[in-house]
Structure 1
Amino acid sequence: MESSVLKTKDAESGTASEPCRRLFRNYHVMHVALRLVCFSASMASVVVMISAKEKSTLSLYGFDIPVYSKWSFSDSFDYLVGVSAAATVHSLLQLLMTLRMLIKKSPIISSKKHAWLLFACDQVFAYAMMSSGSAASGVTNLNRTGIKHSSLPNFCKSLHSFCDRVALSIAFAFFGCFLLAMSLVLDVVWLSEY
C-alpha cells in the first residue's frame, strides 16, 4: 500500500516521492520510539506502585502508633495499577505488531480502518491513564497534607518512602498519558496523509 500511495503522489507531482518517503521513515521511527517509551513508562508505573509498602510508627498526642501502608489498601492505587498494566499490554502489542510489519517491510498501518482503530485505542488509554493518575494524586495529596479540620495527621512524615514511591508511580502514569497523546498526534498525521 505504501508503494501505491507513493506512486500516486509521484504521478501528481514529480518531486513528492522523496519527502513522502522521508515522512514514512520518520513516522515509523517515531512510532516505534513512542511505543517503546510508553511501554517502559507504563511498566515502570506498575512496578514502582506494586513495590510501594512501608511499616513505621506514628506519634499522635504522645502515643506511638504502628502504621503500615501498602498500595493495595487504596482503590485509587488499584485503579492506577490496573490501567497502567492495560496500557503496558496495549503498548507492547502495538510495538510488537509494528516491529513485525517493519521486518516484513510492509506499512505499519495497513488501512484507514486500522488507523482509526489505533487512534481510538490510543485515545481511550490516554484518557484512562489521565483519570487513574488524577485519582491517585488526590489520595496522595491527602496522605501528604492530612485532613485540616480533624486530628488526622500527615502520614507521609512517617511513611516517606511509601509516599515517594506512589508519587513516582503517578509521575510515570502521567508521562505515559503524554506519550499516548503524542501517539495520537502521529495517528492524526497518518490519517491526514490518506
Structure 2
Amino acid sequence: MLKTIPDSTTDDHAAPTVKVAVEIESGTMMNNIEKKLPRNYNVMHVALRLACLLASLVSLVVMISAKEKSTISLYGFDLPVYSKWSFSNSFDYLVGVSAAVALHCLVQLFMSSSRMLIRKSSIISSRNHAWLLYAADQVFALAMMSAGSAASGVTNLNRTGIKHSSLPNFCKPLQRFCDHVAFSIAFTLFGCFLLAMSVVLDVVWLSVVR
C-alpha cells in the first residue's frame, strides 16, 4: 500500500513567499498614498503636534503660576484679597484639559516621529488609525474651546465687576493675576486652533485613502 508524503519543502517555501508578497503590496500601497498626499504632509503634521504641545504646556504653566495678594477698598475699608487659579472651577477645568491635551500631543508626537524618522514611513499607519486621530483631535479641540470659554467668562467678571452691586473690578488690585489668566486663555484658544488644523490634515489623509 502506497502512502502520499506531503511535500514539506513546498509548504516551507510558500509561507515566506506569501509574507514577502504581502509586505511588498503593503509597502507599495503606502508609497502610493504618500504620493497622493500634499508635499511635506508628515512634516506639517509633526509641526502642528509640536506647536500644540508647546501651546498647551504654556497655558498650563502660566495658569498654575496665577496667584497674587493685594488689598481692595470696599465701603471705605481696605480689605486684603488673595486670588489663586485653584479657587475657580473654570480655571481647574482649563488646567485639566491643557494637561490632557499636552499628554495627547506628546504621545502622538513620539509615535509620529518614530515612524517618520526610524521606519521611514507615513506617520499614519492605517485608515483606522486615521479615524482614531480624527476623533481624538476633535474631542480635544472642543474641550480646549469649552475650557477657554469658561475661563473667559470668569475673567471678564473679574474685570468688570457685578452690575447693580457694589462689588468692584477685582483686576485692578490683582492685575498680575488677571494678566496670567488672560495669557493662559489665549494659548488655550490657540491650541484649539492648532488641533482644528490637525483635524483638517486627518481629513485630507482619509480623503486620499478610500
Corresponding position: 1:121 with 2:136: yes
Partners in 1 of 2:167 and 2:37 — Cα distance? Answer: 59
Q: In structure 2, which of residues 155, 165, 171 is the aligned counterpart of residue 140 of structure 1?
A: 155
How far is 1:60 from its partner? 1.4
Which whole-Å CA distance do the structure 1 matches of 2:27 and 2:138 have between them? 25
Deviation at 1:22, TM superposition (A): 6.9
1:171 corresponds to 2:179: no
1:36-185 aligned within 5 A: 36-103=50-117, 104-185=119-200
Tell me the C-alpha RMSD between the 2 structures.
1.5
Which whole-Å CA distance do the structure 2 matches of 1:37 and 1:2 have between them?
Answer: 30
Q: CA deviation at 1:76?
A: 0.2
Counterpart contact for 1:2–1:107, Cα < 8 Å: no
Q: When the two structures are superposed, what TM-score results if normalisation uses the length of structure 2?
A: 0.84
CA distance in 1, matches of 2:148, 2:80: 29
Q: Secondary structure at the match of 1:156?
A: coil
| Larger radius of gyration between Structure 1 and Structure 2 | 2
- Unmatched runs of 5 consecutive residues or more in structure 2: 1-25
Percent of residue pairs identical: 71
Q: Residue type matched to 2:88 in 1?
A: S
8 Å Cα contact 1:36-1:91 kept in structure 2: yes
- Tell me what 2:43 maps to: 29
2:165 & 2:109 partners in 1: Cα distance?
A: 49
Give the conservation status (yes or no) of the 8 Å contact 2:37–2:205.
Answer: no
> 1:156, 1:4 → 2: CA distance?
58
1:79 aligned counterpart, secondary structure: helix
Unaligned runs of at least 5 residues, structure 1: 10-16
**TM-score, length of structure 1 as denominator length:** 0.90
